């Protein structure tokens, strides 16, 4: 089964609002990454947070990591129509070089 | 911008045909992957390689096969395509080591009729 589970599965918000997506995982991780996928395209890496970090920022993106709860959140501030995409979290586990992807959140920004 | 390329982007073929999806990367990455993804669904790892002459089955069983004769090239072959193989196939690569960023190609959409 997938390591990461995103919540919600789908999210629709008005342009300009903030979007928050959550990811839960099951085992200890080396790092956690967020990827974006536009419809019909490949995935693009957004941000990586290591297990010893609690928060990371990149432009309008803010990622938090709570290893005690085995969860992470991705916040997109001041959303734009171009942010419409699916967002996946991926975990890197110790001793396993493969990333494990979650189920994804489909984000729709309404102009 | 990722330097990983997949061809063809779209392919419609008849049942029983043999097809090869091409994937090449120019980043010198040792690790390469093939994922299968149905529309709007999660990704499933079907094959991976840690270097030349190294190939492993992924988490999802697949009737496809792969080869890694050159570092930059990781083709996927279906000997006899079936409608159940209709899906998007995503090729990806990364540097060796744990938890490195994965770079994806644009995907190959396969439809078997």
Interval B17-50: pLDDT, tens: 999 999 999 999 999 999 999 988 889 999 999 9
Structure tokens at B52: 């030349």
Convert the pLDDT of each residue in A22-73 to its tens digit: 999 998 899 999 999 999 899 999 999 999 999 999 999 999 999 999 999 9
- Which pLDDT value is given to residue A32? 94
Across the interface, of A31, A95, A99, the residue whose CB is closest to B102 is A99
* Residue A43 touches partner B, C-beta closer than 8 Å: yes
Mutate to test the interface with B, among A37, A50, A97, A108 (most CBs of B within 10 A): A97
Higher-pLDDT residue of B27, A99: B27
**Taking all residues of chain B, what is their mean pLDDT, rounded to a whole number?**
94
Q: Tell me the average pLDDT across B68-82.
A: 97
- Which pLDDT value is given to residue B1? 58
Q: Which of A84, A77, A78, A52 is nearest to A65 (CA)?
A: A52
Is pLDDT above 70 for B92? yes
CB-based burial label for A85 (10 Å; 0-12, 13-18, 19+): buried
* Residue A48 touches partner B, C-beta closer than 8 Å: yes
Measure B94 CA to nearest chain A CA, in Å: 10
A86·B40 Cβ contact <8 A? yes
Where is mean pLDDT largest: A73-77, B43-47, B55-59? Answer: A73-77
* Residue B96 touches partner A, C-beta closer than 8 Å: yes
Give the confidence band of A7 by pLDDT, cuts at 50, 70, 90: confident
Q: Helices (H) and strands (E) in chain B — how many of each?
A: 0, 11
Range of lowest pLDDT (A73-77, A92-96, A106-110, B66-70): A92-96
B99·A40 Cβ contact <8 A? no
B99·A95 Cβ contact <8 A? no
Range of lowest pLDDT (A67-71, B79-83, B96-100): B96-100
- Which pLDDT value is given to residue A92? 87
Minimal-distance CA residue of chain B relative to A30: B99
Q: Tell me the average pLDDT across B91-100.
A: 89
Is pLDDT above 50 for A2? no
- Give the count of Cβ contacts less than 8 A between chain A and B: 63
In our burial notation (b when 16+ CB lie closer than 10 A, e otherwise), range A89-110 reads bbbbbeeebbbbbbbbbbbebe
What distances in angstroms separate CA B4 from CA A75, B29, B92, B96, one per listed residue?
Answer: 28, 10, 7, 16
β-pairing verdict for A85-93 and A71-76: unpaired
* Residue A44 touches partner B, C-beta closer than 8 Å: yes
């Amino acid at each position: 089964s997938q390591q990461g589970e995103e919540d919600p599965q789908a999210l629709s918000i008005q342009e300009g609002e903030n979007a928050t997506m959550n990811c839960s995982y099951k085992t200890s991780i080396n790092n956690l990454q967020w990827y974006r996928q536009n419809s019909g395209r490949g995935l693009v890496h957004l941000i990586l947070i290591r297990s010893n970090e609690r928060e990371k920022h990149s432009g309008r993106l803010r990622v938090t990591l709570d290893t005690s709860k085995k969860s992470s959140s991705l916040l997109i501030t001041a959303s734009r129509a171009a942010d419409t995409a699916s967002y996946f979290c991926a975990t890197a586990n110790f001793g396993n070089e493969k990333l494990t992807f979650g189920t994804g959140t489909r984000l729709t920004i309404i102009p | 911008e990722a330097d990983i390329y997949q061809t063809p982007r779209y392919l419609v073929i008849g049942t029983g045909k043999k097809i090869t999806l091409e994937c090449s990367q120019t980043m010198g990455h040792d690790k390469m992957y093939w994922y299968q993804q149905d529309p709007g669904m999660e990704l499933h790892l079907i094959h991976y390689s840690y270097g030349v002459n190294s190939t492993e089955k992924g988490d999802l069983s697949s009737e496809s096969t792969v080869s890694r004769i050159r570092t930059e090239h990781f083709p996927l072959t279906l000997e006899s395509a079936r409608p159940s193989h209709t899906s998007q196939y995503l090729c990806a690569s990364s540097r060796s080591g744990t938890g490195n960023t994965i770079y994806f190609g644009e995907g190959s959409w396969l439809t078997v009729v």
